Structure 1
Amino acid sequence: MDKKIAVIFPGMGYHVDKPLLYYSRKLAVQYGYEIVCAQYGTLPSGIKGDAKKMYAAYEMALGNVTDQLSKIDFAAYTHVLFISKSIGTAVAASYDANKGIGAGHVYYTPVEASFQAIGKRGIVFHGTGDDWAKTDVIVEECQKRGLSLFLTEHADHSMETGDALNDLEIMKTIMKETEEYIKGFSNNREMLKNTL
């Protein structure tokens, strides 16, 4: 019988009950995933535009997550899905690479530095108005890895535009794409294992 687990990796100020992670978590539950929400502990503030602070925050978050998830035997699961946001994309990708899990990945608004860890499996969402990451860099990095990239015009780092009803439409589109990825990943796990 399939045994599935999804780990949610939040952003710095984007916690697991904010829209992208709230709805993607609900989708994962619908597809039979047990949910674990990663905890980073207290991280340095004011990291935007400061590469040193951002790296320090990433290292602290990764250390705390590694401790927290050490009790989970990921090998006991047929499907491991990581859903991540912003700096959480770097943490999720690094943790996966370090542990050799081979998880499926949903990356919401990765920061440019995340691509130092992001591999060739997953789906990426980015808004062209995101001032944490340049669109041309995200496009290039996704192309290098063969990752599916979904761009939303004018959307910011939260995948929002400031127009509430438009933002709801954007969220619906993102969740439809997220669901397609989760469904495909959940159905094709054996095929994915053979490509590792």
Structure 2
Amino acid sequence: MKLCVIFPGIGYHCEKPLLYYSAKLAKSKGYDVIPLKFSGFDNSTKGNEEKMSAAAAHALEQAEAQLTDTDFSKYEKIVFIGKSIGTIACLAYRERYGTNASCILLTPLAMTFESLSHRCTAFHGTADQWADTEAIRKLCIKHLVPLHEYENANHSLETGDTFTDIRTLLDVTEKIADLL
């Protein structure tokens, strides 16, 4: 049996393209999928390290509550897919509970790398307004995390050009398919 847990972002829920198609893909590959729901965040967290830490802790608490009855031991393969603040929560959850999961980090934040980041792959847009590209590059190199970059893409891996965004979504989804 295989399990995929989806850790959303503050404003990027599981029905948005990157997470929606990741979950759909995982289901098509035989995974049980648990899409987490996060709420109750302070909308003024951007650029404020203290508020980001509080938001990350809030996301982890919500993940813990929603995964409390999950028996991870029955799965031979576990994948966590996190988006933004969800990347922090998925790595922190994995570390806290010793869950043997590989992690897909969609638009990770610098704080993401405060937890162990082995068996991870990251996706980042070079115009991400929440994470400095050079900092993410350095952190991925330091922690041996493969990084896929998308030129001029924002925190949703979008550029504003519909066809570019569709090609990016396809590329990300194909890479996730290989990781699953």
On whether the aligned pair clears a TM of 0.5, the verdict is: yes
The residue type paired with residue 150 of structure 2 is T
Residues 36-115 of structure 1: matches in 2 within 5 Å?
Answer: 36-115=34-113
Per-residue CA distance 1:1-56 (angstroms, 9 max, x = gap): xx111110001000101010011111111110011111233122211011111111
Q: What SS class does the counterpart of residue 172 from structure 1 fall into?
A: helix
- Residue in structure 2 matching 1:163, options 158, 161, 164: 161
**How far, CA to CA, are the matches of 1:150 and 1:157 in structure 2?**
13
The share of aligned pairs that are identical, in percent, is 38
Unaligned 5+ runs, structure 1: 183-196
**Per-residue CA shift, 1:95-139, capped at 9, x if unaligned?**
000000120111100011111014111210001000111111111
Deviations 1:85-104 (A, max 9, x none): 00000000000000001201
Give the SS at the match of 1:179: helix
Does residue 138 (structure 1) correspond to residue 145 (structure 2)? The answer is no
**Cα distance in 2 between the residues matched to 1:167 and 1:41:** 27
| 1:192 aligned partner | none
How many residue pairs get aligned? The number is: 180
Normalized against structure 1, the TM-score is what?
Answer: 0.89
Q: CA separation in 2, counterparts of 1:174 and 1:39?
A: 22
Deviating runs (4+, > 4 A) in structure 1?
none
Which secondary structure does the structure 1 equivalent of 2:6 belong to?
Answer: strand
TM (norm. structure 2) is: 0.97
